[in-house]
Amino acid sequence: MKLSAFGRKFTAEAGITSLMDDLGNALASGDEMIMMGGGNPGHIPQVQARVQSVLADLVTSQEGMRRLVGTYDPPQGEKQFIASLAELLNREYDWGLKPENIALTNGSQAAFFMLFNMFGGDYGDGSRKHILLPLAPEYIGYADAGIEPGLFRAFEPEITYTGDHEFKYRLDFDAIEVTEDTGAICVSRPTNPTGNVITDNELARLEYLAKKHDVPLIVDGAYGTPFPNLLFVDARPEWNEQVVLCLSLSKLGLPAARTGIVIAAQPVIKALSGINAIMNLATGSFGAMLAEPLVRSGEILTLSRDVVCPFYKAKMKRAVAAFSGAMEGSDCPWYIHKPEGAMFLWLWFPGLPITSLELYQRLKARGVLVVSGHYFFPGLPEEDHWRHRHECLRVTYSQDDEMVAQGLQVIAEEVQAVFAGN
């Protein structure tokens, strides 16, 4: 089979496809695999019960069922949800949103594919522009989302030590460079894979750079504020016409509904809706209709603040304690990135004798699925020999606490064996 350049690119090996294949194959095999690789949210009984109640109301209503499965939404997305969301965000934050400032997509991954290729790549006038990632490591799903190769440019972070076995990445504003070849700036908050949360001040500085160079600042808030609010530090949501704020219903507890939300200036939303029409005809209604009553009442914010955030914060503390206990007394160098949000531990083993990919393979053979850290540095030059990229693992703690603790114990044993030369 002969493929176009597009076909070859999107059928080649990629970090995100490897991750999803691993997860799917492990589930299909029925093996007792400890799943600590993906970003599947935990199952929160209070959230599930509320969603089930909304669904029951919909399916017992003839009009609700018709809207749920029987009609196409416009390419911009389900109108009632969009109107309710604009009203909620204006009430809470006084953003001055109109429905024309919001579009829905079939998941955040689709939103970023469209946005990155809207603002990056060939401009048709002889120029090509990149998407600037000011803080590597960044989300694995960005890496292969560009139609053209070399779409991203990233910068190494500053590393500060915040505890005996804790560190934090910080933006290196002295190194970050926005040029005429920059099409957009993008940052996740909190960051997948590390749980890092850039401060309100750092976000304001990025916004200043974006405004100065007249490029959009894309803020990936899939885990962030105002919902699902997987934040363990204070951080305010920010939007104005310089910002493209991307939200999601997945981490609230609706990953299978595939509902991404983009809040942006009206020309961006109009363009995004046009691409939606060509790629998808229409976006799915399911997630928007399940969430609309929660948005209309404001319950989505209280659920996020009072239920979802405490659920993950407690799991984070248990995971940190489990890994710290498993490594107690070890001579191996080890650090956890300061967990400020999301649902991951980012583990760093300075001087790791093998690569993180080899460590991932050893762990997989022992029944523990994680993700090798080297996938999370899109945009750094290939010739960059920064060893740090190959010394880290991303570990998800969203699943059953006992299984997570078992997995962390295996990771600790395997790392110590590697350092011991076994």
Same domain, 256 and 336: no
Cβ atoms of residues 55 and 254 within 8 Å: no
Q: State the CATH number of the domain containing residue 21.
A: 3.90.1150.10
In three-state secondary structure terms, 89 is helix
pLDDT the model gives residue 47: 94
Same domain, 118 and 241: yes
pLDDT the model gives residue 21: 63
Query: At 185, which amino acid appears?
Result: I
Asked whether the whole model's pTM tops 0.95, one would answer: no
* Weakly modelled stretches of the chain, pLDDT under 50: 28
Cβ atoms of residues 185 and 218 within 8 Å: yes
φ/ψ of residue 112, rounded to 5: -70, -35
Please say which residue of 298, 333, 365 terminates a domain.
298
Same domain, 259 and 312: no
Please say which residue of 298, 321, 341 terminates a domain.
298
How far is Cα 49 from Cα 102, in angstroms, rounded to an integer? 28
Same domain, 209 and 87: yes
Structural domain of 21: 5-46+303-419
pLDDT the model gives residue 22: 63
How far is Cα 172 from Cα 409, in angstroms, rounded to an integer? 34
Same domain, 139 and 274: yes
How far is Cα 89 from Cα 46, in angstroms, rounded to an integer? 24
Q: How many CB atoms within 10 Å of residue 311?
A: 21
**Model confidence pLDDT, tens digit, residues 208-238:** 999 999 999 999 999 999 999 999 999 999 9
Can you read off the two tokens belonging to residue 299? 């319950």
Same domain, 289 and 328: no
Q: How many domains does the chain have?
A: 2
In a domain, 286, yes or no: yes
In a domain, 67, yes or no: no
The percentage of residues in the chain with a pLDDT greater than 90, rounded to a whole number, is: 79
pLDDT the model gives residue 146: 87
- List residues bridging with 245 in a β-sheet: 219, 263
Same domain, 86 and 180: yes
Same domain, 221 and 240: yes
Cβ atoms of residues 342 and 230 within 8 Å: yes
